[in-house]
Amino acid sequence: MPYALRWYWNGALWREESFTWDATRDGTDGLAKYIALEDAHGLISGDYRLELILGGQQVQIATFTIQSPPIPTFTSTATPRPTATPRPAPTATAAAESLVRQARAALVKIFVPDDTGNVIGSASGSLVDSRGLILTNWHVLWDEESDAPRNSAGEVYAGLYRAADIPARIEYVAQYLAYDKDLDLAVFHITRRYQGSGGPFPPFPTVRLGNSDLVDAPDTIFILGYPALTQGYPSVTQGVVSGRARDETGEWITTDTEISPGNSGGMALNTRGELIGVPSQIWYWSDLPAKMGYVRPINLAKPLLEEARLRLVERWPTPPSPPPTGLVVGGRASVTAPDGLNIRSGPGLAYAVLWKAPYDTRVTLLAGPAWADAIPWYQVSVDETGLIGWCSGNYLQPVSPVEPATEALIAFASDRTGNWDIYVMRPDGSAVQNLTQHPAKDGSPSWSPDRRWLAFSSDRGGDADIYLLDMGSGLTPPAVIPAIQGPGDQIHPAWARDGQRLAYVSDEDGDWEIFVSRIDGSEKRQLTYNSAWDSFPTWSPDGRQIIFTSARDGNFELYAVDVATGAERRLTNHPASDAFPSYSPDGSRIVFVSARTGLLELYTADPRNVEGTLTRITDSAGHPQPNRYPDWSPDGRWIVFTSWRDGQGEIYRISATGAGLTRLTNTPGDDEQAAWNQ
């Protein structure tokens, strides 16, 4: 039966909707689902009146008021339902509200088209990868009643968050990459502009992924999305975690927080602004005024995100990597996908995955290219195992028969030419080579554990961001690849020993904090939260702890943070400054700089008891200039550092016991921030 619903705001007709009523499906109380808070959520303050029109006759009327904060109160001509005294909404701290506002930048409004391009529904999503991966619900695209996709292309339209007072509009087209029907989760990839060409696109803003295993009642939770009746404006609702639930599809986080139609697939955030789940559904009980929101825990979504990233690597090469050139049957190539590359049983995405080849796996090309799914496929033989299969040529780089040199090198930053660039030299100071040769300011080099990548910070894109030099490519100078981009500045990268993660310093929340992410900038997590200056991170060899410098107590001290839990502890406690820590290769010592004698000297210590195990290894008497930026040799016997003892910044080497001080550079400019490849 056709019906109309008229909305009045402050006495004026606001909108009118027409529907076909199904009493079996929608119930006999036609206004009940609108009287419920779900459709009132996110509306601006004011007095509202709803009129239900059936066959041209007004059959129901409801009125309610939206206050600020939203606490709707209702009167209705429909059968009244019992009301309960509302619990006061939990209050978030200013810091939490700021972090939630930052995360909102990754919020997406999803528009669902049919095969003619007409929009037939909407939902919400989260950008979880800077390459344009959107996490949302699978039912956004899949119609459960017809058990078929809502369009044959498997596509949705996407609108990005711009501001709280700007409605989302269609900007991009995204295609699904991976889904889990039981979990009702899907990952879409932005492939092209709605009106225009495809990529490459600038890096998209992303939300940090949290650890949903740590979520417990009564934690504060925020639900972000685009409710259907807010006309494209974003909405944030705050509540508490009620507990956990489980059904035949898996585990849920339950909450009393508002989850309105259109919020499906959006964000569930903790007070750190981390994504802890995907709002998926809301349950009502006819005999109770209560309601319960259901959120799918983010940890259940992480395997799906990994699957999507692997598919993304096969199908969509990451800019600015050029299309593969120089691949010749009978020649050799290396895998250049940072997250690994699927070796399949045949040339196409429909074939089974035999193995995921890690980055830099060497293969011999046996046949190809064979084109399928718009991908050039090559049959390869894996050098290490002899496995034969097919893989995407988009992430194969030809290598010469002669392997690139893997000799010990020291990287450093220098302005010897009047501009800051990244250089390398041998441990004796010979064979100096400028790697970047760029007018921007480049600095803070850091080696990957396998010596294949050299991370550094540069303002060549305007803000300071983190880039990678491909030291294993055999090219001179090596290729420069963007890694971790804004918002804000990103500096002081430090590799984890697993070669998959970088710690770095960013001011994206307004001051300098320690962050960790994968080398492509995904799965970003903020580890420190304070208004002081936190910087110079260094990883423990087991990857569990990061030691860093902080000014939070009035002067510079060393702190440690547990990477998994975020728990922090203070390592030094002295009126003088302590800074620039660096872990030894075996993790038994750290080296750092301290001014506790009145001069900035190098000290080593056991990281478990720094103050009780100090050993000073430099003596700057007669050279009252600072020493900074120490780093260990791969065998732990030597330390390189920068000193101004001779009038300008130069690189020196000294043994871990304090003997054998040797000057390695001698130029008119400053040389600093030395990093020895491990």
Highest-pLDDT range among 67-71, 141-145, 351-355, 398-402: 351-355
In a domain, 404, yes or no: no
CB 308 within 8 A of CB 220: no
**Whether residue 187 sits in one domain with residue 71:** no
Q: What is the pLDDT of residue 335?
A: 85
Q: Which stretch of 387-401, 409-423, 519-533 has the lowest confidence by average pLDDT?
A: 387-401
Q: Which stretch of 282-286, 584-588, 627-631 has the lowest confidence by average pLDDT?
A: 282-286
State yes or no: pLDDT of 18 exceeds 50.
yes
**Whether residue 110 sits in one domain with residue 165:** yes
Q: What is the pLDDT of residue 654?
A: 94
What confidence tier does 470 reach under pLDDT thresholds 50, 70, 90?
A: confident
**Whether residue 395 sits in one domain with residue 337:** yes
What confidence tier does 323 reach under pLDDT thresholds 50, 70, 90?
A: very low
**Whether residue 649 sits in one domain with residue 564:** yes
Q: What is the pLDDT of residue 383?
A: 76
Q: What is the mean pLDDT of residues 461-489?
A: 83
State yes or no: pLDDT of 72 exceeds 90.
no
In a domain, 348, yes or no: yes
Q: What is the pLDDT of residue 545?
A: 95
Q: What is the pLDDT of residue 16?
A: 61
**Whether residue 91 sits in one domain with residue 22:** no
Q: What is the pLDDT of residue 581?
A: 97
State yes or no: pLDDT of 43 exceeds 70.
no
Of 86 and 31, the one with more pLDDT = 31
**Whether residue 350 sits in one domain with residue 290:** no
∠ CA 420-649-405 to the nearest 5 degrees?
A: 60
State yes or no: pLDDT of 60 exceeds 80.
no
Domain boundary among 56, 76, 96: 76
**Whether residue 104 sits in one domain with residue 206:** yes
Residue with tokens 């580890």: 527
What confidence tier does 536 reach under pLDDT thresholds 50, 70, 90?
A: very high
Of 260 and 605, the one with more pLDDT = 605
CB 512 within 8 A of CB 499: no
In a domain, 349, yes or no: yes
∠ CA 416-422-427 to the nearest 5 degrees?
A: 90
The sheet with strand 557-562 has its strands ordered as 534-539, 545-550, 557-562, 568-570
Percent of residues, the chain, with pLDDT higher than 90: 34
Q: Where are the beta strands (DSSP E) in 321-441?
A: 332-335, 341-344, 353-357, 362-372, 375-382, 388-392, 396-399, 410-414, 421-425, 433-434
In a domain, 542, yes or no: yes
CATH at residue 373? 2.30.30.40
Q: What is the pLDDT of residue 350?
A: 80
In a domain, 274, yes or no: yes
Q: Which stretch of 12-26, 193-207, 620-634 has the lowest confidence by average pLDDT?
A: 12-26
**Whether residue 307 sits in one domain with residue 330:** no
Q: Is 154 buried (19+), middle (13-18) or exposed (0-12) by CB count in 10 A?
A: middle
Within 13 Å and on the Cβ side, how many CA atoms surround 549?
Answer: 21
CATH at residue 265? 2.40.10.120
Q: What is the pLDDT of residue 521?
A: 85
CB 448 within 8 A of CB 461: no
State yes or no: pLDDT of 632 exceeds 80.
yes
In a domain, 489, yes or no: yes
State yes or no: pLDDT of 553 exceeds 50.
yes
CA–CA gap between residue 632 and residue 157 (Å, rounded): 51
What's the structural domain count of the chain? 4
Q: What is the pLDDT of residue 48?
A: 66
In a domain, 282, yes or no: yes
What confidence tier does 400 reach under pLDDT thresholds 50, 70, 90?
A: low
Q: What is the pLDDT of residues 250-280, one digit of tens each?
A: 899 998 887 877 888 999 999 888 899 999 8
**Whether residue 266 sits in one domain with residue 369:** no
CA–CA gap between residue 674 and residue 37 (Å, rounded): 60
Q: What is the pLDDT of residues 414-448, one digit of tens each?
A: 999 989 999 999 998 998 999 998 889 999 999 99
Q: What is the pLDDT of residue 6?
A: 73
CA–CA gap between residue 369 and residue 377 (Å, rounded): 5
Q: What is the mean pLDDT of residues 197-206?
A: 72
Of 318 and 627, the one with more pLDDT = 627
**Whether residue 371 sits in one domain with residue 345:** yes
Q: What is the pLDDT of residue 364?
A: 85
> Rounded mean pLDDT of the chain?
81
**Whether residue 342 sits in one domain with residue 366:** yes
Q: What is the pLDDT of residue 109?
A: 94
Q: What is the pLDDT of residue 199?
A: 61
Domain boundary among 252, 281, 316: 316
State yes or no: pLDDT of 321 exceeds 80.
no
Of 516 and 91, the one with more pLDDT = 516
**Whether residue 375 sits in one domain with residue 301:** no
Q: What is the pLDDT of residues 93-121, one digit of tens each?
A: 566 777 788 888 899 999 999 888 888 88
Q: What is the pLDDT of residue 338?
A: 67
Q: What is the pLDDT of residue 319?
A: 37
CB 319 within 8 A of CB 306: no
In a domain, 191, yes or no: yes
The H or E element spanning position 97 is helix 94-103
Q: 93 lies in which domain range?
A: 85-316
Domain boundary among 399, 423, 457: 399
